[in-house]
Structure 1
Amino acid sequence: MIVATLTPLWPLLDAEERPAVVSEVARSVTRSIALAPFHIRFAVESVSIVIGLCTVLISAGAGGPLARTLRTDRFYRLLQRMPGPAGSVIRLYRSMTLLAFYDEAPVAEKLLAARPAQTS
């Protein structure tokens, strides 16, 4: 849930590609956290439960998908500025999500295709 809300809304992805990319990014981040040492995994998963619950409650009253996205993004920015485990976990998820997102083949292909031609 947290990973899906942190995945960039990237306009170059087709409507068919986006769900597959988000799913693979979530799988990659989840797998990476699952492979972490127990003391790290336990802390991240414990804080993630609370953050996920808060995210659901905060976005429940929002209107459409854009309003939900804006609310959760504001909540994540607030948490990220806070000292302590919640801010650290959000920074961890944000970093891992972005790395996994740009590592996906459809995203990399679109990035390379959108890159301006270099002239020497």
Structure 2
Amino acid sequence: MLEKSSPLWWLFAAVSVVLYLAVFLPGMVNRWQMIWVSCGPVAGFLATVAFSVHYDSPLNELLPVYCGGILGIALGIVGHWKAMRAFMTWRAENPGKPDDEGPGVPWMLQVAFTLPIFLGGAFWYMNAS
């Protein structure tokens, strides 16, 4: 089993971000949506850094949770690109309306399952190592 302090986690984190962007960016219909979605991995990394600093734990050892979160969200979208694109098109055309008035978001159920599974696996891995 790969040690949680292995420098390979940096590579896994970079690959996770690339996969996240590859899944999300094709579904965005304008520049602002692309920028907003691209901020997700950055915000997650900043939260990981803040946790590392606050609890005085090595950042490298927290990367499995970062990877689990990014991959859990990205894999929740897989297979729902058309629905996501339809929703994002509606969102761009109706900026003031609540989201529940637009087309359905079938990927939310998939995200609700994949994210806890990946994060749970990452936390298990960190505690088992």
Higher RCO structure, 1 or 2 (CA under 8 Å, sep 6+): 1
TM value normalised by structure 1: 0.32
